[in-house]
Chain A
């Protein structure tokens, strides 16, 4: 044997640190001897690097194996324990709870991820900017821009590496025997370079494509390419007919370009002779990419300077107009949607907390029956850490199983979300259970397992120690468990209360929204359809007016049709158009900028068809002359002449500089949305002009959707190459408009319902447990002459106190959440006292009921039997 060499302290320390890799229980058992063994080997081999390598590898391998085997043992044990006889009801309740909680969080987070978090399909999406015109004096914070201004910006601005313009172009695909209306946009040639989107096939636009006289070209979306043209690459270089004009297809662009996913045809920006020379005619959407190193703030400052300069140079068109630069995501996903999603995410997070609390509570209840088992294991030398680890593993097994079921639920929910109308929520088309979503789900599972396992484990181990110290038959150990359970129940009720208050507020808001006066009558019997005329000749307006006259004549003759009209846009339609109006002479109370109003083109029958009431004067005649006549909505008339003068016969000046005469006043109509006040509106006669896309409105005596085919035939008789699209009833349009708040409310109400159910179960469980624990005490009281009613009250008192604390906390939380909620509420205050009081009362009633259910068992206690057997 070699002479013993000294082992340096550092080597001993390093080895002690390595030992941390082992499970605590193993380490505690063998640490001393393993260190001694290590020292012996050190002395034999004098600490060579080979010794270190060998020891390190050995430690890692055996430690991993120890952990794995312990886990496998715990999982097997947990599985047996969870599926054992008598545990099924616990396991099923816990699994259902967890599946609901984790499923709801996963589903909502999937939506949040795809709408708010997933990167837009651009290169460096944060650098892509939306530029919008604003006019503070007229209260406009978002408006399109004009071509001359856009060109001036492009010339002057240094903050952008490129600026591009987009305009809506109404498109019919007219080749072949199936004419089709399509969504079209005209874009600057640098569009795809600016966004950083590459074509799927072919090439992008080049500046030469937009030069007058150049052979007309088009790009099409991937969706249209596959649907109409079979996805064949040979289409590139061939021509398709766009509005009767043959255009060469140069490339195919992905369907989802971030800000829209329903465009079919992309054209070069081209020229609009009607609008492009006028600085005041604002019809363009402008996007840009920030130049390297430029911040949003710097870009905003530069655009401010440029718009002040343009205002000085062209005061007529630009007075008061400024430019606001916005990250493109904030334009795509408006504040309202973001707010709704954040509310829902907060709600499901609360629901998951309630679920975790419920499972923790169930586990504590179950641990009550395991005190003896735990005491025995502690007595046999199992360490507490070891027991806690085992119980957390059990909770983990439970949560993973529940989480897997929850993911399944989420998958179904996401499939169902595909049925949500696409206008409701932007970017919903890209929903999927992708990696970030799964990571969040896994995180939820882990946190829930810890939450639901830690407290029961520590409580159980603590009471197990008590149990071991006292006689094993003693039950007083359970006393230490009750406060934990009561606290959990209070938390549950608080969360449920907060959710129920929010759900109640949202429900009231939805009811008010759906009962808001529309301004027109009986939307169930109004059918609308869109018609885009392929504009090909100079004399288009006259031709189109004749076309619509013939179509209306044919439609009116159809059986079941009461009346029919044509308008530039129906209420709740996708487009809005605006001009400012100034009365002549201008009253003091109206500013020089006038009143911002929407305008619509309508045929004479429009007001009769929608049943919009005439308040003063007259409506248009079929061949209205002169063309400078217009009608005002009540609200606009009131704003123009606040003194209440009769507007009929008076003149107004529009922002295009023209003077018009008022011939009548009609009722207010909600044009853009249920939640918006009726838009001030003026109407022109279609005898003046028609826009390329018009909407047909038909009032029917019968169920209207059956008429679509007959209307198509009428149109085909007038012009065989004219498509008609987007048939829907006004009722559908109204419903779609409320789809987002309705979806929000339904989801939140169901989360609140689940949370309430879980909380009630939790309360009943705790009180029931207390009854079980206090049976002897209650029996004594009954034997000593307490009435059963007194005994019931005694048991309920504790439970009700807990519930009251929980409910009050929940009300406070709901008050705190008011600010988040107030943005999406319509016609109801976020702090509405009635709602708070009613909710509190309802929850208190539910809690009292949950206390009473188990408490009434007290009356079944037989003092003599209990005291004799106990």
Chain B
């Protein structure tokens, strides 16, 4: 379990981790659901592989950034039982901190005039 004070130590979050936290920010999802959500939100540019997805999920569980809900049926695939995951307040906080960090970086780049020119 990670305490609130230790959250800073987790930053910067790896992109896959951030994507998963974002995908879980508005709804509980199962693993595959997270994968689809990430793909959808990024317009298909980011496709998580199963290996990355589940090793990251395992790590987020260990650190207490997400929790596992009881198994329930997947409404789409009748036969498969799936575990759903929910963002914890700690996980939400971690995502927020990462967002703040990224925002700061963006601001930093803008101030330096590095914004790409729009055609």
B94 within 8 A of A: no
A676 lies within 8 A of chain B by Cβ: no
Interface bits A47-79 vs B (CB < 8 Å: 1, else 0): 000000011001101110110000000000000
Max count, chain A CB within 10 A of own CB: residue among B55, B77, B82: B55
| A70 CB to nearest chain B CB (Å) | 11
* Interface check A36, CB cutoff 8 A: yes
Q: How far is the CB of A121 from chain B (nearest CB, A)?
A: 52
> With A33-B83, A40-B32 known to touch, is A62 a contact of B52 (CB < 8 Å)?
yes
Q: How far is the CA of A609 from the CA of B74 in the complex (A)?
A: 107
C-alpha spacing A62/B36, complex, angstroms: 20
Q: Does any Cβ of B come within 8 Å of A30's Cβ?
A: yes
Contacts of B55 in A (CB 8 A): 26, 62, 65-66
Cβ of A45 to closest chain B Cβ, rounded Å:
8
Tell me if A38 is interfacial: C-beta within 8 Å of chain B.
yes
CB pair B80 A36 closer than 8 Å: yes
How far does the Cβ of A42 sit from chain B's closest Cβ, in whole Å? 11
A645 sits at the interface (CB 8 A)? no
Would A54 and B49 be within 8 Å (CB), given that A33-B31, A37-B32 are in contact? yes
Number of contacting residues on B, CB 8 A?
Answer: 19
Is B47's CB within 8 Å of the partner chain A? yes
User: A58 CA to B30 CA in the complex, in Å?
Assistant: 20
A23-44 with Cβ < 8 A to chain B = 26, 29-30, 32-38, 40-41
**Within residues 46 to 95 of chain B, which ones have a CB less than 8 A from any CB in chain A?**
47, 49-55, 57-58, 77, 80, 82-83
Contact B51 A62 (CB under 8 A): yes
B30 touches A33 (CB 8 A): yes
- In the bound assembly, the distance between CA atoms of A54 and B53 in angstroms comes to 13
Partner of B35, one of A29, A37, A61, A62: A37
Residue of B nearest to A21 (CB): B51
Do B58 and A38 have beta carbons less than 8 Å apart?
Answer: no
Contact check, B47 vs A41: say whether CB atoms are below 8 A apart.
yes
**With a CB–CB cut-off of 8 A, which chain B residues contact A65?**
55
Given contacts A26-B58, A29-B58, A33-B83, contact A58 B51 (CB under 8 A): yes
In the complex the two chains form, what is the Cα distance from A32 to B71 in whole Å?
13
A30 CA to B68 CA in the complex, in Å? 13
Task: Please indicate the chain A residues that have their CB under 8 angstroms from the CB of B53 in the complex.
Answer: 34, 37
Residues of A within 8 A of B57 (CB): 30
Contacts of A55 in B (CB 8 A): 49-51
Measured between beta carbons, the chain A residues less than 8 angstroms from B35 are: 37, 40-41
Min CB gap B71→A, angstroms: 11
CB under 8 Å from chain A, chain B span 6-63? 30-32, 35-36, 47, 49-55, 57-58
Residues of chain B lying within 8 A (CB to CB) of residue A37: 31-32, 35, 50, 53-54
Question: A residues 654-702 with Cβ under 8 Å of B?
Answer: none
Complex alpha-carbon distance, A41 and B30, angstroms: 15
Interface CB pairs A-B, < 8 A, 15 = A26-B58, A33-B54, A34-B31, A35-B50, A37-B31, A37-B35, A40-B35, A40-B36, A41-B49, A61-B51, A62-B49, A62-B51, A62-B52, A62-B55, A65-B55
B residues near A, CB below 8 A?
30-32, 35-36, 47, 49-55, 57-58, 77, 80, 82-83
Interface residues of A (CB under 8 A from B): 26, 29-30, 32-38, 40-41, 54-55, 58-59, 61-63, 65-66
* Given A30-B54, A30-B58, 18 extra CB contacts under 8 A: A26-B55, A29-B58, A30-B31, A33-B82, A33-B83, A34-B31, A34-B51, A37-B31, A37-B32, A37-B54, A38-B50, A41-B49, A54-B49, A55-B51, A58-B50, A62-B51, A65-B55, A66-B55
